């Protein structure tokens, strides 16, 4: 274990040393991100920062910690991730169309399914002991969708200095802790790989945090999303309800931002693939937060998701259900408060306000007040006709005295 810690520290040092060379290479290749309407950066920035992470991670896999990984899976994942990095580099230099990037991710996902044989094969139905064996025509699309969805989710949040790299680092550390302490059935090399990739990001963040000297680029964002999806999938080979929910919650920030982006574009009758400037980080900055403050707030959100994911593993089913419901309500209220789907979209806030108002008014005593000169209430008139005025009892008590 001590050797593993030493090697992880060496990977941080290697990443710190290699990033300046990747930065120079980006200028040579023309992998530069120029400012535009969607970008926050005010000057041209070198991209392909993810290339350095790819190189450092594979130095760790093939040299420093080679004995930790099965040969077949190691080479298959390396091949698939090379396809992802190549796709990202071409996009950073030439700007691919969305379908072309999706094609690259799709090819890499097929390599993972057929060569690495990392796939979803079984599904455990919650609250029962029933296990469903997934045939290939279900296993294949579910696996491909998982990889495509998580890869693009991480790519979508890469909009501020240090955002995608920091959130990915938090997610990977959480996945490593969860894998080491709770899900060791697939061996220790999955959590070790999570810690290795997190170590690479720790070495990269000093160059990527605001003010950034280099961006991840699609090279890095796609690579991180892809590797996170594959590492999570490896831990989900035999899928139970808990092990399915945990990585989704861990990656709650990019996944929820992606889901709300799709909903927002559908509500505005825009193509799902059309980029906009209304993501989570954009909305927080509209509230007056600086880049650093926005990134730190999203880091905090990611830590909350990570903490909840670990509570899932320690909770009985009923408590897990309550946690999930509470988390969904909290996310929706937060989304409505920052206007992620628009300023007028506040259904849950309005519903809660209506219920609170209704509860408050129903508890207030009903008091009727009659002012002189106004018509008497009907019941007072009826009592007056019967000789029972409200003042009658008081007059009678005075006469007796």
Handedness of CA 68, 179, 234, 197 (dihedral sign): negative
Secondary structure element (H or E) that encloses residue 132, with its range: strand 131-133
For residue 124, say whether it is annotated as part of any ligand binding site.
no
If you ran DSSP here, which 8-state letter would residue 359 be given?
Answer: H
Residue 78 neighbours by CB under 8 Å, 6+ apart: 58, 61
| SS3 per residue for 244-295 | HHHHHHHCHHHHHHHHHHHHHHHHCCCCCCCCCCCCHHHHHHHCCCCHHHHH
Q: How far apart are CA 383 and CA 392, in angstroms?
A: 11
- Write out the E strands in 182-260: 238-239
Handedness of CA 335, 339, 341, 345 (dihedral sign): positive
For residue 218, say whether it is annotated as part of any ligand binding site.
yes
Q: How far apart are CA 331 and CA 333, in angstroms?
A: 6
Pick from 159, 162, 155, 275: nearest CA to 220: 155
Q: Which residues are annotated as a binding site?
A: 155, 218
Binding positions for Mg(2+): 155, 218
């Amino acid at each position: 274990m001590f050797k593993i810690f030493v090697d992880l520290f060496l990977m941080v040092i290697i990443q710190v040393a290699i990033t300046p060379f990747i930065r120079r290479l980006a200028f040579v290749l023309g992998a530069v991100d120029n400012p535009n309407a969607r970008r926050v950066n005010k000057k041209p920035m070198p991209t392909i920062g993810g290339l350095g992470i790819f190189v450092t991670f594979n130095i760790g896999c093939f040299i420093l910690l080679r004995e930790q990984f099965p040969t077949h899976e190691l080479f298959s994942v390396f091949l698939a991730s090379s396809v992802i990095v190549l796709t990202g580099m071409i996009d950073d230099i030439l700007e691919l169309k969305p379908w072309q990037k999706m094609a690259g991710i799709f090819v890499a996902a097929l390599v993972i399914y057929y060569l690495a044989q990392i796939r979803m094969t079984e599904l455990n139905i919650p609250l029962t002991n029933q296990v469903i064996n997934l045939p290939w025509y279900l296993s294949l699309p579910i696996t491909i969708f998982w990889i495509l969805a998580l890869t693009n989710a991480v790519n979508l949040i890469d909009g501020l200095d240090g955002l995608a790299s920091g959130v990915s680092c938090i997610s990977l550390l959480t996945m490593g802790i969860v894998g080491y302490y709770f899900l060791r059935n697939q061996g220790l090399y999955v959590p070790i790989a999570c810690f290795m990739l997190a170590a690479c990001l720790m070495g990269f963040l000093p160059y990527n945090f605001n003010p950034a000297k280099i961006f991840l680029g699609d090279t890095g964002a796609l690579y991180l999303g892809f590797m996170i999806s594959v590492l999570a999938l490896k831990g989900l080979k035999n899928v139970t309800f808990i092990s399915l929910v945990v990585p989704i919650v861990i990656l709650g920030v990019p996944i929820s931002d992606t889901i709300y982006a799709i909903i927002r574009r559908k509500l505005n009758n825009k193509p799902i693939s059309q980029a906009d400037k209304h993501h989570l980080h954009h909305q927080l900055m509209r509230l007056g937060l600086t880049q650093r403050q926005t990134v730190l707030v999203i880091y905090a959100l990611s830590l909350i998701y990570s903490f909840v994911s670990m509570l899932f593993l320690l909770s009985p089913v009923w408590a897990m259900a309550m946690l999930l419901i509470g988390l969904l309500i909290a996310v929706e209220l937060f989304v409505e408060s920052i206007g992620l789907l628009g300023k007028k979209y506040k259904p849950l806030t309005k519903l809660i306000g209506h219920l609170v108002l209704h509860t408050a008014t129903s508890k207030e005593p009903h008091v009727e007040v009659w002012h002189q000169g106004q018509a008497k209430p009907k019941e007072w008139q009826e009592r007056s006709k019967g000789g029972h005025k409200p003042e009658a009892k008081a007059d009678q008590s005075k006469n007796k005295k």
